[in-house]
Structure 1
Amino acid sequence: MGMNYTPKQIVNQLDNYIIGQTSAKKSVAVALRNRYRRTLLDEKLKDEIVPKNILMIGPTGVGKTEIARRLARLVGAPFVKVEATKFTEVGYVGRDVESMVRDLVEMSLRMVKEEKMNEVMDKAKESAEKKLVKLLVPQVKKQSTMSNPFEMLFSGQGSNSTNDDDGEKDEEIRNKRSRVAHQLAMGELEDRIVTIEIEEIPPSMFDLLQGSGIEQMGMNMQDALGQFMPKKKKKRKLPVSEARKILIQQEAQKLVDMEEVSQEAINRAEQSGIIFIDEIDKVAGKHDNSPNVSREGVQRDILPIVEGSTVVTKHGPVKTDHMLFIAAGAFHMAKPSDLIPELQGRFPIRVELEKLTVEDFVRILSEPSNALLKQYQALLKTEGINVVFTDKAVNRLAEIAYQVNQETDNIGARRLHTILEKLLEDLSFEAPDVSLETVEITPEYVDQKLSTIVKNKDLSQFIL
């Protein structure tokens, strides 16, 4: 876990993927560093210090979600993103707010299990190779020469020759397996077909409960019934190359202690889990007397989770006291003050993210490690075409993206996807059939391809 990053190092890492938004980056960097500082305290004081949750305010497409996601990936922390609008007040059909904690534990479980399986991978590969050798050279079943039980009483004579035959067969099989093991190591038998047994996972009758308020009850019932129902196995014929992958997974699964994985997953979710609650502004609003499901009720259900409570999951009880919650919303129609006061108090750090400028668009197109221009260049490089964007062309693309955002709905950096798809649409279509080596994208090329977007203000067909 890379939790001992300094705040400056965290911001520098985030700068590789997200342009601007320095204040938001600083806030999450400090929150993460405080987690590390807390681990150095004595137990008595450690329990008293809780994370300072963050409320991000800004329009869509400015980097709210990406900051939280990259932060979690940076430190290897369990992370889930949920939409506040997906939840309903307790008593109504729909997902209850506790499901976000269950989702976080499942994510944590997958992460820990993958780490543990990687630790035993060498042993698993060794065991899988041995199994493959046995499948390719199976043990010959010994056939009894006794015609009836009474012969056992008089079988003293002649037994030595039988044992000698068995010994010779065993020696022959060992020699064959030794040769096959060598051939496997050399990769000579990758296309040989073998028959392996795979556990069959039947479709769950409780899948219908997913997304409902009783999903947890369905999972618990399925676990209880699963202990009494035998696991079905089916045989599959596969080439050695495919069978090896399955056998390695099976062997690694046997070597991993799932009880230990569950405990560590719960601990990691409790101590370093990050829950990102998007669209929080959509459940904010003034009090009304409408018969619709109460949005304030959802806020009140979220409150104890954020404040610190115990949620029962199928892996065990999970405390939310030290989880970091990051809420985000555009707050176009509502204000942060429209949230219930108790929930406002649980998000003491407020960060306003800035709208993107032309300069920001230029940097987004070219600077990040996963910059959009680099992605499109790499895709077309597979067709043998080297796409070169001039600096003026990049500036022109940024200007058009900014202009379209100003004249229609502002969707932030996501507008660049729309612009670039339109710009390179013809080139991507013709790429497999043309023999071009280099294509230079100039401002004139940009204006020619995007003329319909720039001239026509009714851009409904180009808007995401």
Structure 2
Amino acid sequence: MALNPLENEKTPREIVEELNKYIVGQYDAKKAVALALRTRWRRLRLPEDKRTEIYPKNILMIGPTGVGKTEIARRLARMTDAPFLKVEASKFTEVGYVGRDVESMIRDLVEVSVNQMRVRRQEECDEEAHRAVEERLLNLLLPPAPMTYSTLQEVSPSPHQQTTREKLRTMLREGKLEDREVEVELPERSVMVQGFIPGAGMEEMQSNLQEMLDKMMPSRKKKQAMKISEARPHLFQSELEHLVDEEALVGQAISRVEQAGIVFLDEMDKIIGNGQGSGPDVSREGVQRDILPLVEGSTVKTKHGFVNTDHILFIGAGAFYGTSPSDLIPELQGRFPIRVELDSLGKTEFVQILKEPENSLTKQYKSLLETEGVLVEFEDSAIDEMAEMAAEINDKTDNIGARRLHTIIEKVIEEISFIAPETPGKKFVLDAKLVRERLSEIVKDQDLSRYIL
């Protein structure tokens, strides 16, 4: 069962230790998000009158790309099962301009929460739904006796019918009737609304219009003959829809967003103007002013209902090359009171990243190739060499942090990955010499390394 984000009782130290399993270094950033999460836990244990007065302390992470900003926020949300949304601030435009308005991030966050709750509720109803599907299939294979006109009551099945029904039940469970055809009632698909609403950022309007038309049009069903193996998923979905209370589910989803939602606003530095006060700068500053009410706390209308953003945690992030957080409008600066600078990564950190995390790239590639029956072993010398080359290329070209390791290891393992299906049972040992053979020429040629690595 997934965790309830409102009942997460991990201490800040335990949260940091959990993050350490996946992310190397960046202690200050981990500590900041751990404290933000614990503060939520404390707030929910206060009396109602005090609780409403305590607002989250939003965080601004400052650091180059590929140092773990996004991963810290994503792992935090996954750890608590909280509704989480990552958006790029630069994708939004000021109200009045063509593009996505900032309130769409809250609408998207609600959709994330609704889907999470629906999956959880469906897991709870899974067994009951499967039983109901079995009964419906049995009714299709052996229709029940009709009601009598005199009493309008169902006639009890005869002993022979009961025996036949149980035999069919056994055959169903053993998968012996999967190719038997039955006639199933399916809802007719409604006409899709698409293509006639011009301009970017109109997805929400189109979705709402589609939903409105679906409600206006009477639901019609059609009978269709299909095999039991094909009918089962349709019947299962139909039973789940009957068992899940959509209204209660949406109410819980909105509550989770309001009390435990996390929005990760990346590329905050891209909405800073260059000081000219005209052209694109106007829209960039306008985006900042549009974001401000959401971060301060406001009410946003979504298709599921109104959502209050007072207690949603916003985590901003940006590289801030050539700019500074102080270049944001003063009001927005004040809404991100906790500033955390993340360290650049070098060879030492790259070695740790390749070896220590539970989801390290070396462990991932080992697991992937094991599915082909191929064993791969990375010697320490190979890991050291890959880390050194990643650091060297980052220095010579664009510094993309740990993301450079993805391209490095992919290039090193490329040939083994290609021949893996033809060599089951074989073991490959990767050392520094092999790494140099695969990468030395590319690393020397700066133009090649820029495009390949």
| TM-score of the aligned structures, taking structure 1 as reference length | 0.89
Amino acid at match of 1:19: V
Amino acid at match of 1:106: E
Amino acid at match of 1:362: V
Match of 2:62 among 54, 57, 60: 57
Amino acid at match of 1:178: E
Q: Give the Cα–Cα distance (whole angstroms) in 2 for the partners of residues 210 and 348 of structure 1.
A: 40
Aligned match of 2:401: 412
Aligned match of 1:243: 231
Question: Structure 1 regions of 5+ residues with no counterpart?
Answer: 145-158, 160-165
Bigger drift between 250-259 and 46-55 goes to: 250-259
Match of 1:345 among 321, 334, 345: 334
Measure how far apart 1:391 and its partner are: 0.9
Q: Give the Cα–Cα distance (whole angstroms) in 2 for the partners of residues 99 and 393 of structure 1.
A: 46
Match of 1:302 among 291, 294, 298: 291
Aligned match of 2:47: 42
CA contact (8 A) 2:145 2:156 kept: no
CA contact (8 A) 2:193 2:209 kept: no
CA contact (8 A) 2:374 2:423 kept: no
Bigger drift between 262-271 and 221-230 goes to: 221-230
CA contact (8 A) 1:116 1:256 kept: yes
Match of 1:379 among 365, 368, 381: 368
Aligned match of 1:361: 350
Measure how far apart 1:214 and its partner are: 4.8
Aligned match of 1:332: 321
Q: Which structure 2 residues correspond to residues 144-293 of structure 1 after superposition, within 5 A?
A: 172-202=160-190, 204-206=192-194, 209=197, 212-235=200-223, 238-292=226-280
Q: Give the Cα–Cα distance (whole angstroms) in 2 for the partners of residues 220 and 71 of structure 1.
A: 32
Structure with bigger gyration radius: 1
Measure how far apart 1:228 and its partner are: 1.7
Question: Structure 2 regions of 5+ residues with no counterpart?
Answer: none
Amino acid at match of 1:461: Y
CA contact (8 A) 1:219 1:314 kept: no
Runs of 4+ in structure 1 displaced over 6 angstroms? Answer: 166-169
User: Percent identical across equivalent pairs?
Assistant: 52
CA contact (8 A) 2:146 2:155 kept: no
Q: Give the Cα–Cα distance (whole angstroms) in 1 for the partners of residues 68 and 104 of structure 2.
A: 25
Aligned match of 1:71: 76
Change in 2 beyond 3 A, CA 1:318/1:210:
farther
Measure how far apart 1:137 and its partner are: 2.6
Amino acid at match of 1:46: R
Residue 423 of structure 1 pairs with residue 428 of structure 2: no
Measure how far apart 1:285 and its partner are: 2.5
Q: Give the Cα–Cα distance (whole angstroms) in 2 for the partners of residues 312 and 188 of structure 1.
A: 51
Deviations 1:56-103 (A, max 9, x none): 011111111111111111111101111111110001111100000000
Measure how far apart 1:279 and its partner are: 0.6
Q: Give the Cα–Cα distance (whole angstroms) in 1 for the partners of residues 397 and 223 of structure 2.
A: 58
Deviations 1:223-242 (A, max 9, x none): 33222212344555554344
CA contact (8 A) 1:285 1:334 kept: no
CA contact (8 A) 2:366 2:375 kept: yes
Residue 91 of structure 1 pairs with residue 83 of structure 2: no
Deviations 1:244-263 (A, max 9, x none): 33322221210111110111
Change in 2 beyond 3 A, CA 1:377/1:180:
same
Aligned match of 1:148: none
When the two structures are aligned, how many residues end up with a matched partner? 443
Q: Give the Cα–Cα distance (whole angstroms) in 2 for the partners of residues 23 and 454 of structure 1.
A: 33
| TM-score of the aligned structures, taking structure 2 as reference length | 0.91
Change in 2 beyond 3 A, CA 1:382/1:263:
same
Alpha-carbon RMSD across the aligned residues, in angstroms, is 2.5
CA contact (8 A) 1:124 1:248 kept: yes
Match of 2:450 among 424, 439, 460: 460
Q: Which structure 2 residues correspond to residues 97-116 of structure 1 after superposition, within 5 A?
A: 97-116=102-121
Measure how far apart 1:437 and its partner are: 1.4
Q: Give the Cα–Cα distance (whole angstroms) in 2 for the partners of residues 201 and 368 of structure 1.
A: 47
Residue 26 of structure 1 pairs with residue 31 of structure 2: yes
Aligned match of 1:156: none
Amino acid at match of 1:137: L
Bigger drift between 322-331 and 227-236 goes to: 227-236
Change in 2 beyond 3 A, CA 1:309/1:197:
same
Measure how far apart 1:113 and its partner are: 1.5
Change in 2 beyond 3 A, CA 1:389/1:237:
farther
SS of 2:446 mapped into structure 1: coil
CA contact (8 A) 2:74 2:84 kept: yes
CA contact (8 A) 1:358 1:398 kept: yes
CA contact (8 A) 2:145 2:155 kept: no
Q: Give the Cα–Cα distance (whole angstroms) in 1 for the partners of residues 357 and 198 of structure 2.
A: 38
Q: Give the Cα–Cα distance (whole angstroms) in 1 for the partners of residues 355 and 191 of structure 2.
A: 46
Change in 2 beyond 3 A, CA 1:395/1:4:
same
SS of 1:177 mapped into structure 2: helix
Aligned match of 2:132: 127
Q: Give the Cα–Cα distance (whole angstroms) in 2 for the partners of residues 31 and 228 of structure 1.
A: 45
Amino acid at match of 1:61: G
Change in 2 beyond 3 A, CA 1:405/1:192:
farther
